[in-house]
Chain A
């Protein structure tokens, strides 16, 4: 070019060049993250840098809560105290009978030489915020790898299953809720013992129980609890209640919609359960096939 820009008008590379550079860089990151799951270290680093801002941003909410607590009326506190006392009495009665049942259960299990259920360690955590991402259902809690949280651990609240830890930062971790599209929970129908798997649909307040035959023994109002066969969720935790069943003979499976038990709003306390409950390691698919083959050869 004969008529290049004079040096004193130079403002770096052209707009299109800069745009192309940064978009290509972003696309590289996207592919690396979506396809290969690299970049863990980079994400952790960014997470550490923005941690102070994240904590600062949660202050207004916490402050509003404090102020609200301060202005609670005396009458309301008294009423609440009354209710709690009554509840405590009921719970104490239930607990006493439960202790007896637990002891009996342990005895029976030992007699049957079943593996004893080991109580899991739990980490209490508080929900800090729900990320602004309309494509997923997640919350961020205030416990991270520094507190012993690991990816894959189950998260529950006082009512039922909340979800599973999917990403861990040093002081925060990300929990994918059971309502997320990519989240599946193995369940058992409390009434009939039928096993199945629930899947998130992608919006709040609904789950889908898939792959149930049209004539499956399932009714509206059935309580679904975790079956515990995945080794992630301990068995017996409430997951959802069946709210709607569509049986259409034209399809192989019934369309079953459920409402999740745990109510996860923006704020609240949850428990993160440690993943280890003494299950034997799951054999990988190849190992299982190899064993089956060997067994067959042995038969011949």
Chain B
């Protein structure tokens, strides 16, 4: 049986065209949310909103965002987080590769299964960061290290609806 997106048999929503400006705006907002100061160790649990937003655009509008903006945002996160220069950039490159590779597949699944896909992609990106840091001489910071990926994947449905709000067609196109 062929499953129709979004998984419950209803036809896919028809959205208004996406402008590059809107894509840029969501990425800037994601950068902002990533940099908001949170008290103490709450900081270490925060999911990577840039990664989530990039995955959204790659999965649903694969021609709107490419490797270069993702990579540049990775460099920005490296400087802001004071981590090794290039670590987020590499992680985002891996993430983009997986997301582009899987994007035709992901849209075929319902939300619950999409969350699992996103979890794998985010986890792979974090694993890359961990490998880089361990090779540079750091120790494993504990199992909570992967908490941002899990929280990020759980936030996927919310982010999905949030980004789509301005893209929904007007309720009654004839009324305008």
Contacts and interface: CB of A to CB of B under 8 A. Distances in A.
Interface of A: 11, 15-16, 18-19, 21-23, 25-30, 32-34, 39, 42-43, 46-47, 49-50, 53-54, 56-58, 60-61, 128-136, 138, 140, 167, 174, 181, 202, 204, 265-267
B67 A18 contact: yes
Contacts of A57: 32-37
Nearest to B79: A46
A133 B75 CA distance: 14
Q: Which 9 A-B pairs have the closest CB atoms?
A: A29-B86, A129-B37, A57-B35, A26-B90, A33-B85, A30-B86, A19-B97, A22-B93, A134-B141
B84 A132 contact: no
Contacts of A134: 44, 141, 144-145
B44 A138 contact: no
A235 B80 CA distance: 32
30 contacts: A15-B97, A18-B67, A19-B93, A22-B71, A25-B71, A26-B89, A29-B85, A30-B86, A30-B90, A34-B84, A34-B136, A50-B76, A50-B79, A53-B32, A57-B34, A58-B36, A58-B37, A60-B36, A61-B36, A129-B43, A130-B40, A131-B82, A135-B133, A135-B141, A136-B82, A136-B83, A174-B82, A181-B138, A202-B139, A204-B41
Interface residues on B, range: 35 or more
Main secondary structure of the interface of A (DSSP, over half): helix
Contact of A138 (B82, B90, B96, B132): B82
B71 to A, nearest CB: 5
A46 B97 contact: no
A265 B85 CA distance: 25
Given A19-B96, A266-B37, A39 B141 contact: no
